[in-house]
Structure 1
Amino acid sequence: LSFEYSPHDDDGDDDLRIVEDYFDRTLGDSYASLGRVYQDYCDEMNKLSLWIMELLGMSLGVGRAYFKDFFEENESIMRLNYYPPCQKPDQTLGT
């Protein structure tokens, strides 16, 4: 399952609920609570990534807003993958 995330729409509206809307349109009302969970998750990951960009700019000496300003109007793709358990876990490498 993949869906788009953007913190702003073309009008500058900061209260965009694009993930919730996607879940509602695609999966129906029974997945509304899951849509809210992923909307909140995407909102918080956006804040975290911008905070990391500020730290990166500060540590490189180019200014706190240098990278943040570039990425602030971002659009992202959230991808949810599911892989069934391996039938022979003793023969796998990694985690």
Structure 2
Amino acid sequence: MRKLTALFSVIVLMVGILALPITSYAYWNHGKVRIVSRGEDLKVRIVERGEDFTIRWVDLNPGVGEWEEVPRLEDFTIRFVESGEDVKVRFVYH
């Protein structure tokens, strides 16, 4: 009975974690992105200060803090907005 209770507790915890929305900046901090005008996964506002994270555009193999713009087969889609953003991003160029 004790094992069954422990197993049930683990299952409930896992379901609760999987049901949470993806809000971690780590998920959006790198990857292949497609810019869209509607139906986005993430609304992005470009800022100079007070950013949630910084991003550098790359041509191939995005690492942490890098986005690669692609026409298809994206990891997620973004839309640039002036207000009502999900995240604030500062683009860096080095």
TM-score > 0.5 by shorter chain: no
Bigger share in strand: 2
Bigger share in helix: 1
- What is the TM-score of this pair, normalised by structure 1? 0.23
- What is the TM-score of this pair, normalised by structure 2? 0.23
